[in-house]
Amino acid sequence: MKNIYGVTITELEQYFIDKGQGKFKATQVFEWLYKKRVSSFTEMSNVGKSNIAMLQEDFSLESLEILAKKVDTDVSKYLFGLKDGNKIEAVLMNHDYGNSLCISTQVGCNMGCRFCESGRLKKVRNLEASEMTRQILMVEEDLKIHISHIVLMGIGEPFDNYEEVIKFIDIVNTPKGMDLGSRHITVSTSGIVPKIREFALYPKQVNLAISLHAPNNEIRSSLMNINKAYPIEEVMDAVSFYIEKTNRRVTFEYILLKGINDSREHARELSQLLRGINCYVNLIPYNETSHIEYRKSNQKTILDFYDELKKNKISVTIRREFGSKVQAACGQLRSNYEEESL
């Protein structure tokens, strides 16, 4: 039985047409699900009893289970249990521009980035669009808030689950549904070049972020296995294609690791790589974890790196630090939960 939270409005319209019903029923159902947030089909008072029976037979409203929750100033981290016993995470961050939720797209990850806790668990499976949508709905319900921004940067590589990610975006972007603006959605990739090029042709104005984390192939290959398949030159070519097709600015994410990629020379090299590209760099202080040997750069080093980029006319921000007290590194809460359950 298909989870209805993974069905696009176009698919639902076709469902009702195939059943000999008016496709406007899909809009009614979407409004009940995403505007009025009902928990059962029987609450959909204007859909009709025969249609409710039909929906109950063909679709589920299955939810996720909140296994753990940790809260700190302006951040809440959730560990969700899935129907098959697997676990994923989501992190809610309160910014001055709104509430941003970082969601997972896979159970585990095959990218093997050495600084990333979630990569310690190899990919078990892709998440369904419904399991991504449900992360938003459950956090909003739990905290009684409206989430204004979504970042696909939790556990997993979104472009390794491309079809379900695109379906998820279509669902949450639907005006009669959650109505989350496409410019408030960011997809982060470690650099799967063919999918960057495919995403450049996607009609919605969704933001693209590239997890770069190094200014050259030698360092990047030592940190990220994917660089051996798609080296920096190929990633940058794909980014140029994306910008040409979309006329949109790209974000480059750069985690600063002590003694690895954080010197002024690295900043100068990064400036040279990005010169002339419509982009900005998001410098990310590292969230240390007991399972990985990398350490966070000190504040002076971070500021020196920032200053060097600014001096070279690269747009740059330093991401505000969230959640060291809530195990906010990707996969960290899940990993610790598993250990405590042994």
- Same domain, yes or no, for 174 and 295? yes
Q: Please say whether the beta carbons of 339 and 297 come within 8 A.
A: no
Interatomic CA distance for residues 281 and 315, integer angstroms: 6
Structure tokens at 292: 């990985």
Q: At which of 60, 86, 102 does a domain end?
A: 60
Q: Which residue has the tokens 């019903």?
A: 21
**Same-domain status, 69 and 56:** no
Rg (CA), the chain: 21
Same domain, 56 and 69: no
State the residue for tokens 């679709």: 59
Q: What is the pLDDT of residue 341?
A: 47
Are 31 and 154 found together in one domain? no
DSSP designation for 144: T
Looking at residue 310, what DSSP letter applies?
H
Nearest CA-CA partner of 333 in 62, 73, 104: 104
Number of domains, the chain: 2
Residues 40 and 12 reside in one and the same domain: yes
| Domain match, 30 and 101 both | no
In 3D space, the residue among 186, 227, 190 whose CA is nearest the CA of residue 98 turns out to be 186
190 and 312 both lie in a single domain: yes
- pLDDT tens, N- to C-terminus, the chain (342 residues): 999 999 999 999 999 999 999 999 999 999 999 999 999 999 999 999 999 999 999 999 999 999 999 999 999 999 999 999 999 999 999 999 999 999 999 999 999 899 988 767 889 999 999 999 999 999 999 999 999 999 999 999 999 999 999 999 999 999 999 999 999 999 999 999 999 999 999 999 999 999 999 999 999 999 999 999 999 999 999 999 999 999 999 999 999 999 999 999 999 999 999 999 999 999 999 988 877 889 999 999 999 999 999 999 999 999 987 655 555 455 455 555 444 443
Same domain, 16 and 95: no
> Alpha helices of the chain — where are they, by DSSP H?
9-18, 24-30, 49-58, 129-143, 162-173, 193-199, 217-223, 226-229, 232-246, 264-274, 299-311, 332-341
Domain boundary among 60, 77, 108: 60
With contact defined as beta carbons under 8 Å apart, do 173 and 214 qualify?
no
Residue where a domain stops, chosen among 45, 60, 75: 60
How many CB atoms within 10 Å of residue 49?
8
Inter-CA distances, 171 with 103, 164, 180, 323, Å: 15, 10, 9, 29
Domain hosting residue 51, numbered range = 2-60
CATH number of the structural domain spanning residue 11: 1.10.150.530
Residues 69, 89 within the same domain = yes
User: What per-residue confidence (pLDDT) applies to 338?
Assistant: 47
**Tokens linked to 139:** 């956090």
Do 280 and 332 fall within a single domain? yes
Would you name the residues annotated as active-site residues?
89, 330
Reference 252, options 225, 220, 297, 229; nearest CA is 220
pLDDT of residue 339: 45
pLDDT number for residue 324: 56
Q: How far is CA 60 from CA 5, 257, 322, in A?
A: 9, 45, 35
**Shared-domain flag, residues 180 and 306:** yes
**Same domain, residue pair 50 and 91:** no
CATH number assigned to the domain comprising residue 220: 3.20.20.70
- pLDDT of the residue at 342: 37
CA 258 to chain centre: 25
